[in-house]
Copies of this chain bind each other. A is one copy, B any other.
Amino acid sequence: MARRDKRDDIVRAALELIAENGFHGAPIAMIADRAGVGTGTIYRYFANKDLLISKLYQELEEKIQSVIMEGYASEKPIRERFLHLCTALLRYFIENPLDFRYMEQFHNSPYGVAVRRDKILGKKGEPDMYRELFEEGVEQQVIKGIPLAALFALSFGPLLNVARDHILGFITLDDALIARIIEACWDGIRR
């Protein structure tokens, strides 16, 4: 088996178990078992469990980022761009429920706080589509002039909530409902 494959097996096993059971419910031995490798093998790819968790988060974030940026046109109107990003993100989560659950677990953990700070306050040079979009929208007076953190809350809060409820089976999201919910998010932030 190629080296890459083994790493992938580990990452996938970690993703599944953590998504399903939380960090608690995913001991290294169980991850190794699910991945079909020895426990020691995991440590050849990740220095420790924390790093495995963080690395997996980063990779997911990059993957999601690239997916939602497909077809994104920065010259279109703010509203259209907002709808695009939100729809793409929500669709991604619905189609990849494990990824969603993992991200959720991660954000609600000590790691998550630092990441959230960077997202809101802007990390060293790294651009964030949402932040740029909000800042531009506020400037153009299309979006309410409230702090960025509030705009993030008004957008992601509902989004992540409905994604979760859908995955848990409390609601069933189809294209029409997705569209209505995202319109509602837009109603929340638009001036």
Question: Which residue numbers of A lie inside 8 Å of B, CB to CB?
Answer: 21-24, 104-105, 108-110, 113, 116-117, 120-121, 144, 146-147, 149-150, 152-154, 156-162, 165, 168, 170-171, 177, 180-181, 184-185, 187-190
Q: Please give, as numbers and ranges, the residues of chain B lying within 8 Å of A153 by CB-CB distance.
A: 157-159, 161-162, 165, 181
Q: Please give, as numbers and ranges, the residues of chain B lying within 8 Å of A24 by CB-CB distance.
A: 23-24
Q: Please give, as numbers and ranges, the residues of chain B lying within 8 Å of A147 by CB-CB distance.
A: 171, 177
The distance from the CB of A174 to the nearest CB of chain B, in whole angstroms, is 11
* Contact assessment for B22 and A184 in the assembled complex, using a CB-CB cutoff below 8 Å: no
The distance from the CB of A141 to the nearest CB of chain B, in whole angstroms, is 15
CA distance A189 to B181 in the complex (A): 9
Considering residues A22, A113, A162, which has the most beta carbons from chain B within 10 angstroms of its beta carbon?
A162
Q: Please give, as numbers and ranges, the residues of chain B lying within 8 Å of A190 by CB-CB distance.
A: 187
* Contact assessment for A146 and B116 in the assembled complex, using a CB-CB cutoff below 8 Å: no
* Contact assessment for A171 and B187 in the assembled complex, using a CB-CB cutoff below 8 Å: no
Which residue of chain B is the closest to A156 with respect to CB atoms?
Answer: B161
Considering residues A22, A104, A152, A154, which has the most beta carbons from chain B within 10 angstroms of its beta carbon?
A154
The distance from the CB of A30 to the nearest CB of chain B, in whole angstroms, is 15
* Contact assessment for A113 and B157 in the assembled complex, using a CB-CB cutoff below 8 Å: no
Closest 4 CB pairs of A and B: A157-B157, A153-B161, A188-B188, A149-B171
- Given A116-B170, A168-B113, A170-B121, are A152 and B146 also a contact pair (CB < 8 Å)? no
CA distance A156 to B189 in the complex (A): 15
